[in-house]
Amino acid sequence: MHRKEKNVVLTIFLTLAIIFTFSSCEKLKVSKLKANHHFAQANHFFTENQYRNAIQAYEAALSYNPDLVEAYRFLGESYKNMFKPGDNSPVNMEKASKALEALNKALEIEPNNKDIIYSLGDMLDKLRDFEEAEKLYLRIIELEPTNMDNYYVIAEFYKRYSGEREELGEKAEQMYYRRIEADPENTQGYAYLAQFYSDQINSAEKPALMFDKANDLYVKITILDPENFTAWYSIGVNRSSKAFRLQNILPLDERKGLAEESRKALLKAVEIEPNEPYPYVYMRILLINVYTNVYPERKGRYEEEAKVWGERYEEAIKKQAERRRLEEELRRSER
């Protein structure tokens, strides 16, 4: 073939290639536009809790753009929201299967996406697949070792299973401590761990130890933040509850000490937030349930004092209700 003929053939080939490439690009653009349209519709349905409609729209979006990772993710979320934990019927388990399929596909596309990993772990958790869920949650910590919230998520995960396996309670405790270690100046970490110990009191072999562990953490919060109302109020509740609930176990002198610690903490809470009603009512409870028992010779005095604190509680409740009413009226007037 002569050079001239070769050039003609090459020119024709390139021309056709350009035409086909242009046509393919146009088709690709149109497909992506359609995918985005259905994806937007799906997101609207999802936010309105219309999960069946959302599923149809996400599947339509994926038919036009199979690489749309967020569509897979929220398709899985939609099925997950329709799934009912504990229901092993074929229809319900099919939803679980669809959720796992979509979330695994999303993870295949973006294997280091923390949100997808968490969502898949959550779905496995709902299915009570502890081992596989644990792997995913621990993977999140590997990806973000300095993110405090990750430790809290995993601690709560272990906590949910601690009633079935004792060692998981220890794992939960370790995760709460790791959260604190990630940011030791952040009071929230101490509050989470304190709540964890408080939740263990009813089932613990040594409830007094759980009371004290929780209280030590609340005290730590007051050191970091001396004006922390919640911490002072929690100390008041903790010390009073220990004295009352363990009254048949603890010696009298210890219960007297706990009563005084509770009183001081509640007074501090009132000083910080005088309009908050709950310290008033708990002071009343402290006087009736604890002080009248540890000081029976002063029972009448403490009962009278309890009435005063009860009245202050009622006043605080009324003022709180009035503030809420005025705030609501203000919001309506601004609309």
d(CA 159, CA 170): 9
Q: How far is CA 279 from the centre of its chain?
A: 26
241, pLDDT greater than 90: yes
Asked if 195 and 211 count as a contact pair (C-beta separation under 8 A), the reply is no
Q: Which CATH code of 3.40.50.12160, 1.25.40.10, 3.30.1280.10, 1.10.287.3510 fits the domain covering 25-144?
A: 1.25.40.10
Q: What secondary structure does DSSP assign to 220-266, as a single string? A: HHHHH-TT-HHHHHHHHHHHHHHHHHTTTTS-HHHHHHHHHHHHHHH
Of 9-13, 26-30, 292-296, the one with minimum mean pLDDT is 9-13
Average pLDDT over residues 127-136: 94
Q: Round the average pLDDT of the chain to a whole number and report it.
A: 89
Looking at residue 36, its amino acid is: N
Q: What does the pLDDT read at residue 335?
A: 66
Q: Taking the model in full, what pTM does it have?
A: 0.77
- Token pair in block for residue 184: 């030791």
Burial 182-192 (b: 16+ CB within 10 A, else e): beeeebebbbb
User: Predicted confidence band at 182 (pLDDT cuts at 50, 70, 90)?
Assistant: confident
Q: What secondary structure does DSSP assign to 185-208, as a single string? A: T-HHHHHHHHHHHHHHTTT-S-HH
83-121 confidence digits (pLDDT tens): 999 999 999 999 999 999 999 999 999 999 999 999 999
d(CA 160, CA 124): 14
**Side-chain-side CA neighbours of residue 169 (13 Å):** 14
- Token pair in block for residue 239: 């010390």
Average pLDDT over residues 31-55: 90
Looking at residue 307, its amino acid is: K
220, pLDDT greater than 70: yes
d(CA 238, CA 246): 12
Burial 11-32 (b: 16+ CB within 10 A, else e): eeeeeeeeeeeeeeeeeeeeeb
More confident residue, 248 or 146: 248
Average pLDDT over residues 127-133: 94
Q: What does the pLDDT read at residue 19?
A: 33
Looking at residue 304, its amino acid is: E
Angle at Cα 228 formed by Cα 272 and Cα 313, nearest 5°? Answer: 45
Q: What does the pLDDT read at residue 204?
A: 82
User: Predicted confidence band at 22 (pLDDT cuts at 50, 70, 90)?
Assistant: very low
In CATH terms, the fold of domain 145-223 is 1.25.40
**Exposed/middle/buried for residue 129 (C-beta within 10 Å: 0-12, 13-18, 19+):** middle
Instruction: Please name the residue that has the structure tokens 């002072």.
Output: 232
Please state, for a pLDDT cut of 70, what percent of the chain lies above it.
91
CA end-to-end span of the chain = 82
Average pLDDT over residues 54-83: 93
User: Phi/psi zone of residue 84: left (φ > 0), alpha (ψ -120 to 50 degrees), beta?
Assistant: beta
Average pLDDT over residues 46-74: 92
Asked if 49 and 80 count as a contact pair (C-beta separation under 8 A), the reply is no
Average pLDDT over residues 74-90: 94
Average pLDDT over residues 263-290: 96
- Alpha carbon distances (Å) from 81 to 39, 68, 113, 184, 198: 18, 20, 20, 36, 31
User: Predicted confidence band at 140 (pLDDT cuts at 50, 70, 90)?
Assistant: very high
Asked if 218 and 241 count as a contact pair (C-beta separation under 8 A), the reply is no
Angle at Cα 160 formed by Cα 159 and Cα 165, nearest 5°? Answer: 75
Q: What does the pLDDT read at residue 30?
A: 65
Q: What does the pLDDT read at residue 230?
A: 97
Average pLDDT over residues 166-177: 92
Q: What does the pLDDT read at residue 6?
A: 42
d(CA 313, CA 315): 5
Q: What does the pLDDT read at residue 133?
A: 95
14, pLDDT greater than 90: no
